[in-house]
Amino acid sequence: MESTTQIQADEKNQQMVDFGESEAGIQEFMSAENTQIPCVIKHRFSDFIVNEIDEFGNVVWFTPETDLQKWRKGAPTNADGEVTVSAEEQKQMEIEQEQQELVFPDEKLEKLKILIPESDYIRFIDYLQRIREGSYERTEIFVFENSIEDKAKRSAVHQFFKNEATVFETDTDMSQKDVRLIRVFLKNAFSANKRRKMNIIDRKPQGSVEEWPQYLKVVVQKTNVDTMQAVHYIAKKLKKFGKSFQVAGNKDKRGITTQRITILRGNPEQVIRFQRSKDWDKKIKIGGFERVLKPIRLGQLSGNRFSVALRFIPDNLTDEQIAKRFLNYFGMQRFGTYNVRTHRIGIENLRQDWQKVCELILSQHPDGDEDSKFRKQKILKMVFEEKNIDSALNYLDRRDVIYLQQLFHQRLEKSILCALKKSPNVVGDLVVEPEKSKAIDEADNGDDALIDQVEVDEDEDNRLELPHFDKLDKEENKKNKDQKPKLHGAALLETLLIDVTEENIHKYKITDVVMPLIGHMTRFPENKELIQIMYDLMSKDNITLNDFERSAQLDGSSSNGSYRKIVAHASDLEYDVVKFQNTNEDLLTPNPNAEKDPAPELQADQLTHRALRIKMSLKQSSYATMMIREVTKVSSAFSVQNALSRDKNQA
């Protein structure tokens, strides 16, 4: 086992060597144009706007939801779905309707009299009368005095109130041992919070699960918050488990991002109320409610729409410098900004050195954060040297990811692998993939001979098309809204793979070329030089294909491999140049569907700067930072951009 001292030494060495683009294998450019456009990327988080594009090619826009009455159960609406009465009017209508339903006809009372003991029947008639007169509060609960042990008889009573006396709701009080007492209460008398406190379980609507929407689909707009942070925050506020939330993909932290999320049995009225509270984080907005039958799946999107502002550009920008195509590297954000980069954890995960994986995760802290570094060193010592988990828990703060808390609650006597399996983010794609990212980024630089043989042509007609979400027939989708898009995995892609030879190379363009994301089921190209490059890269990190195969045996792990185009293309590209004087002034709107970008006011006696505003759509898994890098020829590394931004603020 590697000592904690050695781990800390590794941290120091990692910090001494700046992890830049070359360390991630990002070295080449698509175009021969070498003119650099000095600029600052993400000078402010509002300079980077991302909107998800769904599987049918529709951009996801944020629309706020503030009308409680619209989403309240039973609210009357007109033919257009608009609520026709106020909340006060609706409440009064419900009370009047309730009073009418509290009048039981004789035939219903006779049915009830047969089902329950006579003493309980007499007491219920008195309860019914007092509720109608108002001498009992609407929240008064009627409890049967006689326990009904026969489950069939209890079910018959519940069914009576469910079908014949719908103004009431029933449940069974089982708080006393071997006693089953039925409770009866007005259905609309209690708030959701009161029902929870009284341990009243909401009944499901009639019909099978497949016949009613279990999921609430929402649109979440986040400002300087990453996807998992937002999910964990919303889950905590709504008192739900994280597994009740599903997303199509993760979005950048530094930016304003909009995406869809589905919530299992989500309550729209509850979501609206929580957002109105004073302690709600205003950086997270939830709107665009829709009831759906199925949750969103990971990868259920066709791409993202980006609006980007590049500040402090020179005056001599030309149209020729705005490239549409770029090398499809994995972006620098894939490797993180912590002292321990994600690909290092991925390597140890493939080796199944779980002790090292745990140590690296517990060693992570933001670059330059000395307080966090000191805290993590204490945690390492307590966990791995003193075996004192309880003391280590005291050093966790809100910035620590959820799986660390899960890991700590496992005792060291238990298998570390077991602890990791309870933390899917550790064992799954989020850890393994960055190592693949580094390998493919470096391999992209290796076989220039192969790339040079493929024609680069702006005409993309008749090119080979790999199946993708955005290739669905949108016209057919409009005709049939219930049409479900078909997902295409790596297995289907592999059936379309063609090895490029001298005989067929004239048929394809560089936009057709794919590289393997290495896995134990990957089919490698026949080009021996390229294969050797990939094997050499794996050898540098002391991993083999056998490691991928062994990783595939683990639950929650994915190491089959896939394929990725080496060149990406920006579509629906728009750009303009805007002048500004306040270096921290917003230059983009987060809701371009509803409002125009800001037009900065200029003063005659102040220094004026220029910014390039770019709007574009990229396919799934393509990085806007790599497209910007192609245009500007400026490093996208966090340390470089952070230094440039700091210099401009100090100027």
For the chain, the straight-line distance linking the first and the last C-alpha, in angstroms and rounded, comes to 49
| pLDDT for residue 3 is more than 60 | no
For residue range 150-209, list pLDDT tens digits in order.
888 888 998 898 888 888 888 888 777 778 889 898 887 877 777 777 777 655 444 444
- Per-residue CA distances from 155 to 123, 170, 171, 181 (Å): 20, 10, 10, 12
Q: Which CATH class is domain 58-71+209-301?
A: alpha beta
CA torsion, ordered 226, 228, 230, 232, to nearest 10 deg = -150
Domain ranges in the chain are 40-52+304-324+571-650, 58-71+209-301, 102-197, 431-567
| pLDDT for residue 12 is more than 70 | no
- Per-residue CA distances from 622 to 145, 248, 334, 443 (Å): 66, 15, 11, 17
For residue range 415-462, list pLDDT tens digits in order.
444 444 444 333 333 334 445 566 556 666 554 433 333 433 434 333
Ramachandran category for residue 280: left, alpha or beta (phi over 0 → left; psi -120 to 50 → alpha): beta
Contact 213, 204 (CB under 8 A): no
For residue 479, give the amino acid letter.
K
Same fold, 58-71+209-301 and 102-197: no
Neighbours of 211 (CB within 10 A): 9
- As a whole number of angstroms, the distance between CA 25 and CA 246 comes to 32
Per-residue pLDDT at 148: 84
Query: b or e along 440-453 (b: 16 or more beta carbons within 10 Å of the residue's beta carbon)?
Result: bbbbbbbbeebbee
Q: What would be the CATH architecture of the domain defined by 102-197?
A: 2-Layer Sandwich (3.30)
Burial class (CB in 10 A: 0-12, 13-18, 19+), 315: exposed
Q: Closest by alpha carbon to 251, among 62, 408, 65?
A: 62
- Per-residue CA distances from 434 to 24, 336, 349, 423, 425 (Å): 10, 9, 11, 17, 13
Per-residue pLDDT at 586: 94
- As a whole number of angstroms, the distance between CA 111 and CA 130 comes to 21
For residue range 580-627, list pLDDT tens digits in order.
999 989 999 999 888 999 999 999 888 999 999 999 999 988 999 999
Q: Which string of DSSP letters, residue by residue, matches 531-564?
A: HHHHHHHHHHTT--HHHHHHHTTSTT---S-EEE
Contacts of 163 (CB under 8 A, 6+ apart): none
Beta strands 181-186 and 168-173, pairing class? antiparallel
284 sits in which H/E element? strand 284-292
Q: Closest by alpha carbon to 330, among 110, 626, 635?
A: 626
Per-residue pLDDT at 206: 45
For residue range 264-319, list pLDDT tens digits in order.
989 888 899 889 888 899 999 999 999 898 999 988 999 999 999 999 998 877 77
Per-residue pLDDT at 388: 81
- Summary mean pLDDT of the chain: 77
Contacts of 322 (CB under 8 A, 6+ apart): 573, 575, 614, 631
Per-residue pLDDT at 205: 46
Write down the residue that tokens 């770019």 correspond to: 614
Burial class (CB in 10 A: 0-12, 13-18, 19+), 13: exposed
222 sits in which H/E element? strand 215-223
Contact 160, 171 (CB under 8 A): no
| pLDDT for residue 356 is more than 70 | yes
| pLDDT for residue 256 is more than 90 | yes
354-363 helix and 342-351 helix, angle to the nearest 10 degrees: 160
- As a whole number of angstroms, the distance between CA 524 and CA 563 comes to 10
Backbone angles phi, psi at 379, to 5 degrees: -60, -45
- As a whole number of angstroms, the distance between CA 305 and CA 251 comes to 12
- As a whole number of angstroms, the distance between CA 297 and CA 216 comes to 14
Per-residue pLDDT at 578: 93
